[in-house]
Amino acid sequence: MVQISDLRARPGFAATVADRIWRAFWQEDGHPLSLLTDLVGQSLGADPIPTAFVAHDDERFVGTVSLILCDEESRPEYSPWIAALWVEPEFREQGIGERLVTRAFYRAGELGIHRVYLLSGERRRSFYEKRGWTIFEENVSKPGLHVLIREHAA
């Protein structure tokens, strides 16, 4: 049975989380894996943000998502962000990505944060819109890259 845990409770997954985020989002741009290892390591600290969540079936890694301060350098006034959603290919289409994003969103609410941001390319936009996210700003920093928001009820 797939569970979702705060990475602080399952620190043994930290290296895998860093690896998957690096391969999916950072490797192509030439960033070293060590940069992601350091960033993921920040989620193990005492501050509530950043926080990484890990989906796992006992000791098997299934996926991850993070709640971070900023995911778009050109929009530092927007915070916090849900970022780096990854689900292992064999676990996709089972609702795990939705569960991960929802958990990060509700963590922000637990921290008293009303609005949460998310950066999405055109290909994944409908995934988020079907789950209550709305376009806040289109074509940010490059065509087809959008800022979406979701707000907690007042």
Average pLDDT, integer, range 98-120: 97
Average pLDDT, integer, range 117-128: 94
Q: What is the pLDDT of residue 22?
A: 96
Element containing residue 51 per DSSP (H, E)? strand 51-57
Q: Reduced to 3 states, what is the DSSP secondary structure of residue 135?
A: strand
Beta strand 60-68 pairing with 81-87: antiparallel
Per-residue pLDDT tens digits for 51-107: 999 999 999 999 999 999 999 999 999 999 999 999 999 999 999 999 999 999 999
Assess whether pLDDT exceeds 80 at residue 154.
Answer: no
pTM equals 0.94
Beta strand 134-137 pairing with 81-87: unpaired
Average pLDDT, integer, range 121-132: 93
Tell me how many domains the chain contains: 1
The token duo for 42 is 């920040």
Distance between CA atoms of residues 59 and 124, nearest Å: 28
Assess whether pLDDT exceeds 90 at residue 153.
Answer: no
Element containing residue 25 per DSSP (H, E)? none
Q: pLDDT band at residue 9, thresholds of 50, 70 and 90?
A: very high
The CATH number of the domain holding residue 94 is: 3.40.630.30
Q: pLDDT band at residue 142, thresholds of 50, 70 and 90?
A: confident
Query: In the chain, where does DSSP find H-type helix?
Result: 14-21, 33-42, 96-110, 122-129
Q: Reduced to 3 states, what is the DSSP secondary structure of residue 138?
A: coil
Is 82 within 8 Å of 105 (Cβ atoms)? yes
Q: pLDDT band at residue 19, thresholds of 50, 70 and 90?
A: very high
| DSSP-assigned letter for residue 92 | T
Strand partners, 55: 4, 63
Question: Which structural domain, as residue segments, surrounds residue 139?
Answer: 3-151
Distance between CA atoms of residues 62 and 2, nearest Å: 8
